[in-house]
A and B are shown apart, each in its own frame.
Chain A
Amino acid sequence: MEFLIALMVGALVAAAVYLMLARNVLRFLFGLILISNAANLLIFASGGLTPEAPPLIAYGADAPPPGVANALPQALVLTAIVIGFGLFAFALVLVYRAYQTMGTLDSDDMRLAEPEEKP
């Protein structure tokens, strides 16, 4: 199970890096979304995967029975997903506004803030 997830993280990172090397900012952003999901999966897997054993505490008991899934990474991933969602929503709107105001998505043409030096 961990092996499969590890493979998936690897594939996601590879695809993300490929996308992020593009000059088109939108492709870059898609790459960013992929790599952020890869990071979420990585956290999920790093807690150790124990299928079919939810961390539920029986009524009246103080602790769950041994061998249940670790709930902490799930909580972490949940937080990271929510934060990531907000950030990407913002980033998408920003890219759209940038396209509207500058008329391009090619990062090579985005030289307003850093104008090219005149010789």
Chain B
Amino acid sequence: MSDVLLPLPILIAFVTAILAFFFRKGTEARWISVAGSACMLVAAGMLLSRVLTDGIQAAQMGTWAAPFGITLVADTLSAVMVVITGITALAVSIYAVGDVTEDMEHVGYHTLFQVLIAGVTGAFLTGDLFNLYVWFEVMLIASFGLLVMGGRRVQMDAGIKYVTLNLISTILFLSGIGLLYGVTGTLNMADLHYKVQDADPGLVTVIATMFLVGFGIKSAVFPLFFWLPAAYHTPAFSVSAVFAGLLTKVGVYAMMRMFTLVFTQDIGWTHGLMLWVAVATMITGVLGAAAQTDFRRILSFHIVSQIGYMVLGLALYTPLAVTGAVFYLVHHIIVKANLFLVAGVTNRIAGSTEIDHIGGLYKGAPLLAFLFLIPAFSLAGFPPLSGFWAKYVLVKASLDLELWLVAAAALAVGLMTIYSMTKIWGRAFWKPHPGAIVPSLSTLPAGDRFAMLAPIAGLATLTVIIGLFPEPFVGIATRAAEDLLDPTAYLTAVLGAPEAVQ
């Protein structure tokens, strides 16, 4: 059964992509995309419930036994990430009905979107290092297409920076894979866990650092994040929402996977390095945001700052900290995608995302203002929203290790986040519109209005639910952290009992 369930979310996304390509000239493609995302979410939910009841699932593709064939593995973290991917995909594909222009649909927006989702899902589910590289590439090429779709001058500029820096990251990752294969002779992640222990530790540490840099560029950590704020504010709003929600998080996920399962032989160096990178990422991101006046650019810098929190959880490497990192990952994807969606509505009704050029949204669109406040406060960590618990767990984990400076930085960055959010609130929502108009939601056609506001409301509700009833979500995050920190179950699921392997 798990042989079918594991590849199913990836297959659904690919089939949807193909169908959407055939119907791209009409309006059917958008509904195919919505239906496909909904099916994928259902499949992901089935996978998660199966993982939660029966433990880690593994499937050998083409019935080639691990470590020789390609393995798909779903542990708690993978399954949770696939579900979140499904939620984001569904929200954004509904939003796209109102947001994406017909020109973009005709050149295959929905196809590229679904290929992107397939790439992200594949990266979450694979248990093979080279296969992870291939999924990264699938994701990258789709994201290249989406980023420059529309062909405005500013998109070309952003595209150059995004494409070139991501290609460098890919090449570093690929070289790391080559060297690791040379040292260990395997590419299966579970098998690597055993083989790395016999290898020269110095050599493995060098390779680990290479992976750290490669994934670091992907996940936009300090000092490698410059491509992100240069690019994320240029494409269509639904595109930047799915980028903001998912893409950098794949880098963080890959880091979490590799640095808990494979590269654990020199934690003092790798995770110690990560700790300071995380702190620097949090601080530079939030300071960068303070200098910006464009809605989406502020949010882009906040992605960088929030990535710091997730890497921090991994770097501290205690059960509580990793729980916090997983919880943060889930919370962040929902909140960040939602804020970009709000920015899209703002652009439609007020005419710009430059917060000095707009205003009066609180007066003209109180519903939108309310829907902005929920994710914005959650991002900053206000109780009782999801961000509060995510930050609480991470700060507690760093206090437990008596890392006072790190905890202080995490709290101060939260405070600075509030500053940025109130800046958007004050200038875009409260102050009167400089053009002396009152932007209103009623200027949108009814269909577009519903398509754009429904996903925002849905994601905001999810944020509130996670905030008010964090217990089950923290429970799942704790289980994900246990799976990560004690890989015995993962190894058994992929390779069989440990005694047989040794």
Contact = CB atoms under 8 A, between A and B. Distances in A.
Partners in one complex: yes
A110 interface: yes
Contacts of A68: none
- Where chain A touches its partner, the secondary structure class is helix
Contacts of B153: 101-102, 112
Nearest to A93: B148
Interface in B175-195: 175, 177-179, 181-183
Which size bracket describes the interface of A in this complex? 35 or more
A46 B175 CA distance: 10
B178 A46 contact: yes
Identify the interface centre among B134, B141, B144, B163: most chain A CB within 10 Å of its CB: B163
A98 to B, nearest CB: 4
B157 A43 contact: no
A30 to B, nearest CB: 12
Contact of B178 (A39, A94, A113): A39
A66 interface: no
Given A87-B141, A113-B157, A113-B233, A73 B163 contact: no
Interface in B147-189: 148, 151, 153-161, 163-164, 167-168, 170-171, 174-175, 177-179, 181-183
B230 A113 contact: yes
Nearest to A117: B291
Contacts of B151: 97, 101
B182 A98 contact: no
Given A76-B130, A102-B157, A42 B178 contact: yes
Contacts of A46: 178-179, 181-183
Interface string A20-48: 00000100110010011011001101111
B157 A110 contact: yes
A17 to B, nearest CB: 11
Interface in A84-102: 86-87, 90-91, 94-95, 97-98, 101-102
Interface of A: 25, 28-29, 32, 35-36, 38-39, 42-43, 45-48, 72-73, 76, 79-80, 83, 86-87, 90-91, 94-95, 97-98, 101-102, 107, 110-114, 117
Nearest to A103: B153
Interface in B476-501: none
A65 to B, nearest CB: 19
20 contacts: A28-B164, A29-B164, A38-B175, A39-B174, A42-B179, A43-B174, A46-B178, A86-B141, A87-B170, A94-B156, A94-B159, A94-B163, A98-B157, A98-B159, A107-B160, A112-B156, A112-B157, A113-B155, A113-B230, A117-B291
B140 interface: yes
